[in-house]
Every structure is written in C-alpha cells, then in structure tokens.
Chain A
Amino acid sequence: MTGPRKIARAAFESVDKLFDRAFTPALNPLYHLGTLGWFFYWIVIVSGIYLYIFFDTGISQAYESLEYITNVQWYAGGVMRSLHRYASDALIIVIMLHLLREFVMDRYRGARWFSWFTGVPLIWLVFACGISGYWMVWDVLAQYIAIASTEWLDSLGIFGQSIARNFLNSETLSGRFFTLMVFIHIAVPLFTLLAMWIHIQRQRDAKVNPPVGLAVGTLGMLLALSFIEPAVSQPPANLDMVPAIINFDWFYLAPYPFLDRLPGLTMWALAGAGTLLLLALPWLPPLRRKAAAVVDLGNCNGCGRCVDDCPFDAVSLQPRTDGTEFSEEAIVSNDLCTSCGICVGACPTSTPFRRTAELVPGIDLPDQGMRALREKTLAIAEKLTGTARIIVYGCEHGPGLEKLETGQIGVIKLPCIAQLPPAFIDFVISRRHAEGVFLTGCSEGNCHYRLGQHWEDQRLAGERDPYLRKRVPTDRVGKYWAGITGSKHLQQELAAFHDRLKVQPPLQQRKPGRPADAATADRAESHE
C-alpha cells in the first residue's frame, strides 16, 4: 500500500469506527454503500411509478399535474414526489462514497477490475436519470436544464439540426420533444438497472439489499425529510423569459455552472477525459498479481467447498477429467482469481495433521501454500518459550504485525485470514505447539476480500464447513478484527488474551519423545 492511500484508508477507517460504535459493524452504512445504492434505486422506481400514474405528459399539463400531486394529494403523491427526489439525491451520495471507498481500499485492481470498470458507466446513467427527471417538471429549473443541456449537445456538432432551437421561445416549443424526454426518463432508469446487474456479476453472493435495520432507518429518514421539506416545483417555465436565480439540486446539477462558463467542447473534453481516466484506473498502475490458486486433482474429491467460499466466483466444478470415481472436480478461472486463499482454507484436505511431505491440498496458492504455512508454524512454535505461548495469524491487509512478536508470541501473515483452515488452530493447540492461537485482520465488516472474515468467523463458531473441532477449548482461541488503525487496541486485546492464558490450567503434558508429526499418530488423532 502506498503512502497517500494508506493515509486515506486510515481516515476512512477512523470514520468507520465512529459509525461502528453507533450502528454496530453489522449495520454500519459505510460497509453497505453498494446495497444502499440498490435500495435507494428501488425507492426511486416505486415512487416514480406512483407519480407516473398521476403525471400528465403534455407541455402545459405536466406542471399542473405535478402541482395537483404536490398540493392536493400532499399526503400520498406529495410524499412520493419527495421520496423520489430525495432518494435520487441519496443515491448520488452513496455512489460517490462507494466509488471513493473501493478506490481507497484498493478493491478495484487486478482480477477485481470488472466491478470498477462497469461501475463507471453507472455514473453517467444515474446522472442522465436525474437530469431527465428534473426536465419533466417543466418549471424554470427544467427550462434552464433543457436549454443548457441541448446547447451542450449541439456543441458536438453531430446533430444536423440545433436541438436547443426547440426551446427558442414559446412558439417553437413542440410537444413531441417533451414526449421524447418522458420516454428517456423511463428508458434510462431501466437501462441503469441492467447496468447495475452487470456490475455485480463477478461477486459471489453479491448483496443487493442492505440489512433490514439500515433499510428501515434510511427509509424513515427519507420519509421524515419528505414531510419536513416536501419537494415542490419552482415557477412554471416560460420560454419568453430567462430563468435568473434558480433553486438548484447540486447533487445532479453541479456540472451545469461550468457549462455556463466554459465552451461546450471543452466540457465534453473534460467529461470524456475524466471518464477515460476512471475507466483506466484499475491499470494505473496495475496490481502486481500473485499466482492464481491451483487445483491438485489427486487431492480434490469435488466436494465444492472452495466453490461455496470463493468471494469472486473464480472456482467452479466441472465433470471429472481424471477417470477417478468422483463425479466432479474444482477448476479455477485464473482471470478471476485474486489469490486470496479463502478456497484453500475451505478445502477439507488442507490439514496440517498430514505430514509436511504429504501436505498438498486439493486447492492451494503456489506462492503461499499450505506446506509452507505448516513449516512456518512449526518453525515459529519451536522458538517460543514460556507457559503461555501464542501463535498469531493475521492477514496482510490488516494491522502491522511485526510489533506483536515477543519470545512468547509468534506471528504468521496470510493473504486473508480465511486462508487459515480451522484444522491449523486445532493442530497448534492439540499438539501443544502453543497454548493459544490468536487471529486478526481487517476491521470487522470490512474484509479486503469481501467475505473472508465472515467465513472464518462462521468456521470458528461451528456454523460453516470446515468447522473448528469441538475439542479445541474456545478460551484458547482469541481474535480481534483491528484494521490498519487498530494496532493499539490489538495489542491490548492480545495482552489481555495472553494474561488469561497464563492463569489457565496447563494443557496436558506433551507426550514425551513423541515426534511432532508422526504420521501414524496423526492419522489416529485426526480421526478422533
């Protein structure tokens, strides 16, 4: 992680922590910006359908029908109109935060470019939805938008006739153009939905609904705002007059003052360059990608656990190719693999109870494999002294781990905490390689690889395969999801865990003379 990004990430995390405290990590809106986007989108659609029932698409009738909706039917139509406007505005806020967050957290490069790349057109689409919406009202704001937008389009010089000429004065205005705008305001949102669907295609278990608590809270907030500050029209459009001072929705219209001041073509160049820059960002610079996960057919029985756990849909099952009795086998799509290792942590063959020489799991990371992890665990355990030895497993995207090392505490880094098969924890404790195991990584709810932390939590709690075996005493396994800003807290948590370990009754004596990885004993033990 480079300097400025690290600072930005730390800043995000500090705000996260504040929200964690008020909302709990499970309901922290900053961890649900994408799903909140979906939620606001649906509010806009539902309220829009309601408005459309009462909306009249004629030039002069449009304004009147909205006046009716707002003033006469204020309790229903008026609320719907306000929800329609405010949910659209909220959508812009969460999209921009979502974009910034994915960028700062570096979740858009390498195999993850697709979500970013397909997110960029969404910005244009959502803006087109909002701007065409304000056009519908045909008040002075709509008039301003109509003229400024069509003048901008005209500046391209690719339309034979000047479109802005439609709005020259009240004589030239034609109802046909207005009908076209209504059509656009319905077609573009539908197209946006399609684009939103494409946007999440590469995410396994992509969430499109925020947690109920957040949905209720944000809807309640928008409803309250709708009653306190109902959305209203400005004076009706009059093409014989120029709108002078206009109430502005800055979420959608912030670029318009620039349109008033810069030549149209300059604005096209700026918008085009900005879009291209955003599109190219995943390769500026490209992520140095590690080798993708590799399947070893001799150890894969096609159980599909890796498929269930890969957050990026990079593993799938295909019919067996090696003639063995199993019907399926895992296959990795290298383009989609982020080398997070979560699949490895899910594979039942990733068990250190197998001897180092034999330890080739069904799926493994070539650069950070299970065999090396086992060796490292043993080597580090070897050096630890005292009666409360701890092995800390932490992920590369979390807090700095070096400072944690002492004579009694050893540290091992993983790409993602969910690369750690629960069997390793069992192994360390039941073989007395240490008295305790402690896990740490990204802050809670903010896993760099989306689902790793969630899966690991579930595995430890015995809710997800592969389970942490019941024989592992829970008070010997600690964890703290620290993030990069939580180092101090992490040290405190670890120290407290250490203190608790010290006063625990000692684990049963290590069987004297027993080699740590005697194959026969291993087998017997792992079948307990």
Chain B
Amino acid sequence: MSRITQIIGQAIAYSLFAVVVGYFATRPAYTHLAPDKAVIKLSFSHAGAHIEECRRLTQEELNRMPPNMRQPTDCPRARVPLMIEVELDGQLIYRDELPASGLASDGASTAYKVFPVNAGQHHLTVRLRDSRRTDGFDHEKSADITLTPQQNFVIDFRPELGGFLFS
C-alpha cells in the first residue's frame, strides 16, 4: 500500500473513532421522564410504636436479676411496622406495610417511592399508621395540588413539624 493510501486509511480510522466517541458521549438523548409529566416522591424515615408497652417488674422478678441490671421496667424494643397509603384523585395508588429496620426490628421504617403522574391539578391524600392499632390511621393529610411539568413534589413525614409535609 502506498504511503498516501496509508495516510488516508489512518485518517478514516481516526475520524471514525472520533465520531463514535463524540457522538455517543452525549447522544442520543435519554428520556428519563416524559416532559409533560411530574413526579410525586414519597420519602421518610420514621420509627413506629413499640409492639409491647413497658411493664413494671415485680419485686420477685427484680430479685432474680443481677443487681447491676435491675431496672424497674422492662421495655421490649421491637416496633410495629408502619402502614402507609397514598390516594391520588380518589384512587389508591400505593398501600404498603413498612417493617421496622434492624435485626431486632427496633429501628425506623423507611419509605421511598416515586410516582410519575401527569402535570396539572390533583387531589392528594396520604395516611400513616404508626401505633399498635390494627385499623384506621394515626396521621393523615390531604391537599389539592397543582403540579407543573417536571416538578418534583415531595411527601415527607416529620412528626416534630406536625406530621406530613408537602413541598
């Protein structure tokens, strides 16, 4: 092969490489979310009630314990799972039982859920049970919301700030 054809061949090879690198470094674009959609993101971490109430120990029981371990009450650490419901425009879109974390089920429960929805007006209701009751809910919040396209609407739960937070 002559020197000239070699140079042309190399130029083609290098150009092809550059085109592949340059093209796929940013293209084709990826559609993560249709541009007319918005997202409702539910995310919180919250500890439910203990499964059993603390119990006052009898004198007899206390006597059986080594002196340095004697405490007047016995508090089992396990916590109840949380029950969560999300209702959008009158339809239940999510319902789940969130187990307490930790080997002894003594930690917080975590919720993390993403709902892509159409932008526009919606009626949103969230309910949470974190006590020992077996039905009904302890916390609830409803609101009429207007979602702009691509909005990231967050549902958080912060009991110290009064329960559910919409933002």
Contact = CB atoms under 8 A, between A and B. Distances in A.
Contact of A225 (B22, B45, B107): B22
Interface string B42-82: 01010000000000000000000000000000000000000
A278 B31 CA distance: 31
B152 A93 contact: no
Nearest to A223: B18
A90 interface: yes
Contacts of B25: 85-86, 89, 231, 249-251
Nearest to A252: B25
Given A165-B45, A240-B152, A241-B151, A251 B24 contact: yes
A247 interface: yes
Interface string B21-33: 1101111111111
Contacts of A229: 22
A491 B149 CA distance: 69
Contacts of A228: 22
Interface string A211-254: 00000011011101100110100000001111111111111010
A89 B26 CA distance: 11
Main secondary structure of the interface of B (DSSP, over half): mixed
Interface stretch (B7-15, B88-96, B120-128, B134-142): B7-15
Given A23-B13, A217-B10, A244-B35, A168 B43 contact: yes
Contacts of A19: 13
Given A21-B6, A93-B20, A162-B43, 16 more contacts: A21-B9, A24-B6, A86-B25, A144-B32, A160-B107, A161-B45, A162-B110, A168-B41, A168-B156, A169-B167, A241-B150, A244-B35, A244-B150, A246-B29, A248-B30, A249-B25
A244 B110 contact: no
A150 to B, nearest CB: 10
A257 interface: yes
Interface string A434-471: 00000000000000000000000000000000000000
A152 B15 CA distance: 37
A151 interface: yes
Nearest to A23: B10
20 contacts: A21-B9, A154-B112, A161-B110, A162-B43, A162-B45, A164-B112, A221-B15, A222-B21, A225-B22, A240-B151, A242-B32, A242-B150, A243-B150, A244-B149, A245-B32, A247-B30, A250-B25, A251-B21, A256-B30, A257-B30
Given A93-B21, A168-B154, A245 B13 contact: no
Given A246-B32, A251-B25, A22 B13 contact: yes
In this complex, the interface size class of chain A, counting residues with CB under 8 Å from chain B, is: 35 or more
A257 B32 CA distance: 8
In this complex, the interface size class of chain B, counting residues with CB under 8 Å from chain A, is: 35 or more
Interface of B: 1, 5-6, 9-10, 12-15, 17-18, 20-22, 24-35, 37-39, 41, 43, 45, 101, 107, 110, 112, 149-152, 154, 156, 167
Contacts of A239: 152
Main secondary structure of the interface of A (DSSP, over half): helix
A86 B22 contact: yes
Contacts of B30: 245-248, 253, 256-257
A260 interface: yes
Nearest to A240: B152
A260 B150 CA distance: 16
A17 to B, nearest CB: 11
A476 to B, nearest CB: 29
Contacts of B14: 217-218, 220-221
A332 B157 CA distance: 68
Given A168-B156, A241-B151, A221 B18 contact: yes
B22 A162 contact: no
A32 to B, nearest CB: 13
A222 B112 CA distance: 42
Contacts of A241: 150-152
A224 to B, nearest CB: 7
A483 to B, nearest CB: 18
A344 B103 CA distance: 62
